[in-house]
Amino acid sequence: MPPAPILLAAATLAAAPAMLNGGAVEVTVENVRSDKGMVMVQLCDRQHFLGKCVLGAHAPARAGIVVVTFRNVPPGDYAAMAFHDVNANGALDRWLGIPKEDFGFSGMKGLPLRPPRFGDSVFTHGAPDQKLAVKLNNYFG
């Protein structure tokens, strides 16, 4: 039986009360390979995709599955991005622009041959709570 996932009730959006009408988004990060470092998760709108995303949270890494929950997420279109920050430096380490640490996006199947596009990873979030999974992968094994 795999170890119980780490749950992190994270990232309550600090916004005007009128915006706080969305439900929670629970992101299950799969294929975490070790207990070292942190698992970082971001929810990005189209404008901030592959940049500084609207919502971000992290949880201690744990081999197997780590679950991060975002509360009060305004309805809209988002892409979820996650990576295993093994050295806990707060960044996805790269070599010649290629991610060295395990990473994944919502909707991603395997490793992309090009930078991911928002349309490949987008999900629509409404007012009800929502669950999705992101599987981590790595180009370097």
107's tokens: 């909707």
- What global pTM score does this model have? 0.82
The Cα-based distances of 39 to 19, 75, 89, 92, 129 in angstroms read 27, 24, 11, 11, 22
Number of independent structural domains in the chain? 1
Q: For residue range 40-93, what is the model confidence (pLDDT) as tens digits?
A: 999 999 999 988 888 999 999 999 999 999 999 999 999 999 999 999 999 899
Kindly report the CATH number assigned to the domain that includes residue 39.
2.60.40.10
Does some domain include residue 141? Answer: no
Q: For residue range 114-127, what is the model confidence (pLDDT) as tens digits?
A: 788 899 999 999 88
Contact 134, 105 (CB under 8 A): yes
Q: Write the DSSP string, 67-128.
A: EEEEESPPSEEEEEEEEEETT-SSS--EETTEE-S-EEETT--S--SS---HHHHEEEE-SS
* Domain boundaries, position 99: 6-135
Does some domain include residue 104? Answer: yes
| Torsion (CA) 100, 30, 73, 89 in degrees, nearest 10 | -30
Does some domain include residue 1? Answer: no
